Amino acid sequence: MEKDFYTNLKEKLDIQHTWPSVYMFKFIIPSDNHKLAQVEALFGKEAQVTTRQSSSNKFISITAKEMMMSSDEIIAIYKQAEKVEGIIQL
């Protein structure tokens, strides 16, 4: 099932984007500085990363914009993000 998800995502990305292209990632994580650092480490120095605390202070939303060279590069980041416990990928 995971393979089908990423195969479909790759097809959609390649249809919608011309590479290289700026891509926006969105994640939600439990409020935890270690998890935040893990997510921020997924991106390069040039990425624009913004965070926002939820009103209940239980979660942090993360938006990252970065120049991506291909859909494969995007998928690699999503696969690394899966390793962060409790992450929700939007």
Does CATH place domain 2-89 in 3.40.50.1000?
Answer: no
> For residue 70, what are the β-bridge partners?
none
CB-CB contact of 62 with 36 (8 Å): yes
The conformational region for residue 41 under phi > 0 = left, psi -120 to 50 = alpha, else beta, is: alpha
**pLDDT computed for residue 2 by the predictor:** 63
**pLDDT computed for residue 4 by the predictor:** 86
Q: What does the pLDDT look like over 18-56, one tens digit per residue? A: 999 999 999 999 999 999 999 999 999 999 999 999 999
CB-CB contact of 89 with 24 (8 Å): no
**pLDDT computed for residue 43 by the predictor:** 96
Residue with the larger pLDDT of the pair 33 and 2: 33
Domain boundaries, given as residue ranges, for the chain: 2-89
| Mean pLDDT value across the chain | 94
* Pairwise CA distance, residues 28 & 86, whole Å: 8
Helix or strand run (H / E) with residue 62: strand 59-68
